[in-house]
Amino acid sequence: MDPDTTESQSGSPPQPDRGFDLESRLEARQRHGLRRELEPAADVSARTRIGGESQLVFAANNYLGLATDSRVQQAAASAAHAVGTGSGASRLITGDTELHRELEGDLAAIKHTDRTLLFSSGYAANVGTIAALDPDVIFSDELNHASIIDGCRLSDAETVVYDHCDAESLATELHTRAETAADDEQWLIATDTVFSMDGDVAPLAAICDLAERYGAWVLVDEAHATGLYENGGGLVQREGLSDRIDVQIGTLSKALASQGGYVAGSETLIEYLVNEARSFVFSTGLAPPAVGASKAALRIARDGECRKSLWENVETLRDGLESMGYRVLGETQVLPVLVGDRADAIALDERLREQGIVAPVIRPPTVPDGTSRIRVAPMATHTEANIDRCLTAFETVGTNLELI
């Protein structure tokens, strides 16, 4: 007798299988071309070995190339030796060290704020901060990072999505809401500053104008901007808006070549988050080697030479790709090469890899239908020969695929 289709000896009816059919879910992702796999690299430098093959990497967010800089590596090792390999506890117990405080002071200085607070990741900083603020309404750019989207969900706020980088759309949504809103509603406008898939930037000054008109707070995510602009700051600093933006969030894992996130703002904001941000309160303090590495990377970024090299590489790549006939979106260090057709973009990705260039395809649902692209992310440590090889590969493959 089949025990799944008969009553048990106790006489109770059989129970259905309430487990998870993960094989079917994976097969569905495979059918839709959405299944991904881990592919380990030998290291995180501009040139590495992936799958046994030598590749030039134009896919990383290690924009300044500092993850393999000897000064940053030594700082991480020194922090591990002096403080420990891990914090061992949350910051509110025994995981708060002078090293953490020093980096927070350095970040506050470049962000022009009273204080900063370190989190275990940029993701944790966003979800923890938005949920802790507990706004009634969040006005969110439609292309905001997943961590902002998840923060909106965790906060249980009403979320109003406005058109991407469109201050007029935001103004319309604010005006519409203001017509019926109670006077005690708390509003938050949330946006990335640099958008990682389009390489464009938020209209920060216009957003600040609208926030001030309607009495809202502004939260920005500087993940793809921190360390890349004047004195190691982000777009907020480039635009001179530090005193008009209430919450500046960022990461240490991109230009600052380490791990972790931060929130910068007023003394009161940071003290409140120390007590209310669950992703801070209930997480072990950031590992000392990550703190030491970030501190050294920030110092190097402020010096400016690596930033200069990055922007020179960005300009050379953009000019070269556009001269071939490619359409390159954005205005930042993220260079999305628009292909359009999903199959063409996948083919371009695969052929570039055959040429020794890693520049990943970005396709729906990450981006809208008809806008598949190759995301090119140069580093300051790419040499002139590396850039030339990348351009040659794009020209050869694009010609063969009749894309240019």
> Which are the catalytic amino acids?
196, 224, 254
Q: Which residues of 292-305 are buried (b: 16+ CB within 10 A; e: fewer)?
A: bbbbbbbebbbeee
DSSP-derived secondary structure letter, 344: H
Q: 221 and 192 in contact (C-beta within 8 Å)?
A: yes
Going from the C-alpha of 258 to that of each of 59, 238, 288, 293, the distances in angstroms are: 17, 23, 11, 6
With tokens 């409140």, the residue in question is 272
Closest CA to 375 of 241, 230, 195: 195
Tokens of 160: 């109003």
∠ CA 114-120-124, nearest 5°, is 85
Coil, strand or helix at 48: strand
Coil, strand or helix at 219: strand
Pairwise CA distance, residues 209 & 194, whole Å: 19
Tokens of 255: 């230009």
Pairwise CA distance, residues 342 & 362, whole Å: 9
Tokens of 41: 């690299």
User: How many of the other CB atoms lie within 10 Å of CB of 247?
Assistant: 23
Q: 212 and 174 in contact (C-beta within 8 Å)?
A: no
Q: What is the DSSP string of 93-150?
A: TT---HHHHHHHHHHHHHHTSSEEEEES-HHHHHHHHHHHH--SEEEEETT--HHHHH
Pairwise CA distance, residues 143 & 198, whole Å: 9
Q: Which residues contact 65 (CB under 8 A, 6 or more apart)?
A: 45, 46, 257, 306, 379, 380, 381, 382
Pairwise CA distance, residues 39 & 51, whole Å: 7
Tokens of 228: 């890349």
